[in-house]
Amino acid sequence: MALCPVCKVELEEKKARGVSTVRETTHYFDSKTCKKKFDEQPEKFMKDDGKGSMKTIE
């Protein structure tokens, strides 16, 4: 299973409506809208995912 970084919904990779690879990490999206949002501001959504990097607090 994968997690949509935009709306935090779990989905199966093979059912993903979109895929983006940023910094060698592949992200799967449950909708094209989510992919579009992510592609516009990948940093914004990747912050929440950064368990090891807590330095990005604004």
Rounded Cα–Cα distance for residues 19 and 29 (Å): 6
Q: Smallest distance from the beta carbon of 55 to Zn ion, in angstroms?
A: 26
Upper half-sphere CA count for residue 39 (Cβ side, 13 Å): 12
Region binding Zn ion by CB under 5 A among candidate stretches 19-27, 28-36, 43-51: 28-36
3: nearest Cα among 58, 45, 41:
45
Binder among 2, 16, 27, 30 for Zn ion (CB under 5 A): 30
Contacting residue, 16, 27, 28, 34, with Zn ion by CB under 5 A: 34
Binding site for Zn ion (CB under 5 A): 4, 6-7, 30, 34
